[in-house]
Amino acid sequence: MLTIATGNKAVAAAAKEAQPDVVAAYPITPQTEIVEQIATYAASGEMKCQYIPVESEHSAMAACIGASVAGARTFTATSSQGLLYMHEVVHWAAGARLPIVMANVNRALGPGWNVWAEHTDAFSQRDTGWLQVFASTVQEAYDTTLMAFRIAEHADVLLPVMVNLDGFTLSHIMQSLETVDVGDFIPEFSLPHMIDVDDPRGYGPLTAPADYYKFRWDMERSMRDSVRVISETEEEFAGRFGRRYGSTEDYFCEDADVILVAAGTLGKEAEVAVDLLRKEGIKVGSMRLRWFRPFPELDLRGREVVVIDRDYSFGCGGVLADSIKAKCGGEVYSVIAGLGGQEVTYDDLAEFVRSRRPGEEYWFGVNGNDV
């Protein structure tokens, strides 16, 4: 069915189609619309789930953990400071190998208090063992949420998935949305290590040195296996519903001397900058990063790479730029832009390419050391 929706309502519609057994909800700007819409679905009977309005984000993830280990398909959503409140149990969800799906509406972290888009909230959780994917359109937010359930629950993965969408510039924007009848695309949920009330056992969380590293390796093995599962899932999704995705969305990259890399809505805006620069005779392409964990294998050697980071790791640099330097090669020019919702246009992105100086880091809007 073709309709018009916000990014938030698209995520809620996808969750409805996936039919989770439990949704744990706590509001936070700019995510609130997701759990409000799901509450409406639950109240009307369109979603036959246990809807739990908890007292905090920490409790929301804890409720999902308890439900998931009991064999229930689970969903929640959060943003920014809420994700930070969850941090301890975010680790537990991955370490317990629970395929929870969570939408994170990307928002800057305080202080100062800011409700606009930034990716530092998601990237602060990059070492927790969660798969992370970034959407750039309303349709992609819907499709990716559907695929997230199938990927997370696959027997070779069994890790939670975080679906990221930029606050306001995607969460509240109105675009066309084609919903689907998911059918058997998402199989019935079965957790091999679920609690069995007919076969009660004791669970001891203390793990000694002789075993702890084995659990860590098993998470990494599953993260590596998820590359194949993601590819297979996206391929089947394309076959059933006609929309194709990958670890990146490439635009005029084949003959490009310069690659412009970004995630989220800035990655989509970069396509307009590419069109503008191509008319000027600059052979540039854009590569919108979709999957951040697992980080894709990208061969960028021999190319100049302009990386736009809507985030920062203090004392180190832009998270995407550092990841690309470490894994992908290429001459990287790092641009820090869009923090806290700072306006960045396709003209700005084009200028970053024109004025690139590989090996340097540039903070958009900062002159010398003065802000």
For residue 68, which of 217, 202, 207, 192 has the smallest C-alpha distance? 192
Residue 371's pLDDT is 43
Q: Is residue 223 part of a domain?
A: yes
Domain boundary among 225, 241, 257: 241
Residue 162 sits in which domain range? 2-179+210-241
What is the domain count for the chain?
2
d(CA 249, CA 263): 10
Residues sharing a CB contact under 8 Å with residue 259, sequence separation 6 or more, in sequence order: 253, 284, 285, 286, 287, 300, 303, 304, 305, 306, 330
- What's the pLDDT tens digit per position in 340-365? 999 999 999 999 999 999 899 999 99
| DSSP secondary structure letter of residue 295 | P
Q: What's the CA gap between 277 and 204, in Å, rounded? A: 59
Residue 284 — left, alpha, or beta (φ > 0 → left; ψ -120 to 50 → alpha)?
beta
The structure's pTM equals 0.97
pLDDT tens-digit map of 120-141: 999 999 999 999 999 999 999 9
For 264-277, write each residue's pLDDT tens digit. Answer: 999 999 999 999 99
**261 and 281 together in one domain:** yes
- Kindly indicate the confidence band of residue 52, based on its pLDDT and cuts at 50, 70 and 90: very high
Say which CATH number the domain at 306 has: 3.40.50.920
Coil, strand or helix at 85 = helix
Q: What is the C-alpha radius of gyration for the chain, rounded to an integer number of angstroms?
A: 20
**In a shared domain, residues 330 and 310:** yes
Q: What does the pLDDT average to over 229-256?
A: 98
| Closest C-alpha to 320, from 122, 152, 88, 160 | 122
pLDDT digits (tens, 9 = 90+) for 12-36: 999 999 999 999 999 999 999 999 9
**Predicted pLDDT at 368:** 57
DSSP string, 211-246: HHHHHHHHHHHHHHHHHHHHHHHHHHHHHHHS----
Q: Is residue 337 within 8 Å of 309, Cβ to Cβ? A: yes
Indicate whether 225 and 300 sit together in one domain: no
Regarding whether 225 and 268 lie in a shared domain, the answer is no
